[in-house]
Amino acid sequence: MRFAILAATILAIPTTSLAADMVEDTIAARQGYYKLLGANMGVLAGMAKGEIDYDSSSAQTAADNMVTLTSYNLGHLYVPGTSADDSDKTRALAKIWEDFPGVQEKGAAYVKAAMAMQEVAGAGKGEMAGALGALGGSCKGCHDAYRAK
Q: What is the pLDDT of residue 146?
A: 97
Q: Domain of 121: which CATH number?
A: 1.20.120.10
Please count the structural domains in the chain: 1
Q: At what angle do helices 20-49 and 125-146 cross, to 10 degrees?
A: 150
Q: What is the pLDDT of residue 100?
A: 86
Domain that holds residue 119: 2-146
13-17, 81-85, 131-135 — which is least confidently predicted? Answer: 13-17
For residue 18, the 8-state DSSP code is P
What does the mean pLDDT of the chain come to? 91
Alpha carbon 114 to its chain's center: 10
Check whether 18 has a pLDDT greater than 80: no
7-16, 76-85, 122-131 — which is least confidently predicted? Answer: 7-16
Residue 98, exposed/middle/buried by CB under 10 A (0-12, 13-18, 19+)?
Answer: exposed
Distance CA 111, CA 107 (A): 6
Residues 6+ apart with CB under 8 A from 129: 47, 48
Which alpha helices (DSSP H) does 15-124 contain, by range? Answer: 20-49, 56-69, 95-98, 100-120
Q: For residue 140, give the H/E element and its range.
A: helix 125-146
Q: What is the pLDDT of residue 15?
A: 45
pTM comes to 0.85
Distance CA 95, CA 74 (A): 17
Check whether 19 has a pLDDT greater than 90: no
3-state secondary structure of 142: helix
What does the chain come to in residues? 149
pLDDT in tens, 23-82: 999 999 999 999 999 999 999 999 999 999 999 999 999 999 999 999 999 999 999 999
